[in-house]
Amino acid sequence: MAIEKISPSTNGGTHVAPLDASKLVVNLAKTLKPLVPSEDLIFGETKTDHMLVVSYEPATGWSAPEIKPYGPLNLDPASSCFQYCPNVFEGMKAYLGPNGEPRLFRPDKNMERLSRSVERVALPPFDTSVLLELIKRLVMVEARWIPSEPGHSLYIRPTVIGTRAALGVAASDSAIIYVIVTPAGPYFRGSVKGIPLLAVGESVRSWPGGTGGHKLGLNYAPGFLPQRIAAKQGYSQILWLLGDDAKITEAGAMNFFAVARRDDGDLDIVTPPLDGTILPGLTRASCLALLDGHTQGRLTLPGIALTQRLYTHERTLTMSEIAAWSADGKLLEAFGVGTAVIVAPVGRIGWEGKDLVLPSEETGLGPVGKALWERIVDIQVGKVEWEGWSVSCV
């Protein structure tokens, strides 16, 4: 059950304060950092001047939110976030709209997913609509950091951590919400060609009944060692497989799509289903909606003929199926999607000692992937209006 809005409550007669944007305190930095040229941006490395911080204690509830100069957090060494990993985060982006106003892309969906993740690790709940209001305030404060170049943005990282200062194995009844932002260029810097994936089934990113469907910090660390091994073999990311039938789940930290040509000339576009092992990505959902919109005649994807029908499928996809499509010349393109990368081409997939090579190995995004990237970017910056996906912070 997702938690969206929480009413004020009491604890033994003591008022427990809800998260309240009207209590926001803004303490601006006395000296601002110099902006980093867009061409020098490396994802996640440049920190802006300010951050948002708010804390929760069971006796009093949520503190007054504060936007203050970026800096370290003061945490007890026994905090739950260090010991048992009740750490939740989201990935969002802000863009400059047509009139220079900061805009967010489908932020309500980020807040819905954040709420589900917070509930999954039993952290204190809060009204996510209030957090979104606070995030907009922070983005407005840091608006000068938003790059204007296509494919660039201000990446937003809302994070919720458990801060219960005790070693007992129990849910954290204390927490901190903090939000940091960083100007970002393309995730795969300088690469326009397809990225190489190594298909791995010996190690798994997630499993049925686990936490793969939530955006938790604990989902990522187990993938670092397999990623390092893959890099030594010349692969940029891992294509995570699950089970004896080598079911595809995710590509690195991206949702995976494959495009196959049908016998009638139309295209099948397949992505694995949301079965609890796969993160319900916002970009994934957006791609599916745009592809369906094209086939239904509700929008036109750039570079795709109006007569070209695109059939989307959320179903089990195996490496054997990918290999068969490749052998038959039906595998036209594959790509990973996510907030950080938007749409990234897959060039080759290493599996069972051989590489399956796709056209994007040399050319980069294929027609479908390129059309999705262009249309999503146009919507993100407010150049194209679609379903209210682009939301102004003003």
Q: Give the pLDDT band of residue 190 (cuts 50, 70, 90).
A: low
pLDDT at 272: 98
For residue 305, give every residue at least 6 positions away whose Cβ sits within 8 Å of its Cβ, in sequence order, or none.
none
Tell me: the pLDDT tens digits for 162-185?
Answer: 999 999 999 999 999 999 999 998
Q: What percent of the chain has pLDDT over 90?
A: 89
pLDDT at 280: 98
73 by DSSP, 3-state: which?
Answer: coil
8-36 CB burial, b ≥16 within 10 A, e <16? eeeeeeeebbbbbbeebeeeeeeeeeeeb
Q: Give the phi and the psi of residue 322 in degrees, each rounded to 5.
A: -60, -45
Fold of 12-184: D-amino Acid Aminotransferase; Chain A, domain 1 (3.30.470)
Q: What is the mean pLDDT of residues 34-48?
A: 93
Helices assigned H by DSSP within 102-193: 107-120, 128-141
**Mean pLDDT for the chain?**
93
- Residue 330 confidence (pLDDT) above 90: yes
3.40.630.30, 3.90.550.10, 3.20.10.10, 3.40.50.10490: which CATH number matches 195-383?
3.20.10.10
Q: Give the pLDDT band of residue 2 (cuts 50, 70, 90).
A: very low
- Least trusted range by pLDDT, from 72-76, 347-351, 360-364: 360-364
Q: What is the mean pLDDT of residues 319-342?
A: 96
pLDDT at 210: 94
Q: Which residue from 322, 194, 315 is spatially nearest to 260, judged by alpha carbons?
A: 322
| Cβ burial, residue 77 (10 Å; 0-12/13-18/19+) | exposed
- Sorted by where each begins, the domain ranges of the chain are 12-184, 195-383
Q: Give the pLDDT band of residue 15 (cuts 50, 70, 90).
A: confident
Helices assigned H by DSSP within 127-184: 128-141
Structure token digits, residue 205: 């990113």
Question: Hey, what amino acid is at 137?
Answer: R
- Least trusted range by pLDDT, from 122-136, 180-194, 352-366: 180-194
pLDDT at 203: 92
42 or 389, which is more confident?
389
pLDDT at 7: 44
CA distance 72 to 14: 31
Give yes or no on whether 12-184 and 195-383 have one common fold: no
Tell me: the pLDDT tens digits for 113-164?
Answer: 999 999 999 999 999 999 999 999 999 999 999 999 888 999 999 999 999 9
pLDDT at 360: 83
Q: What is the mean pLDDT of residues 372-388?
A: 95
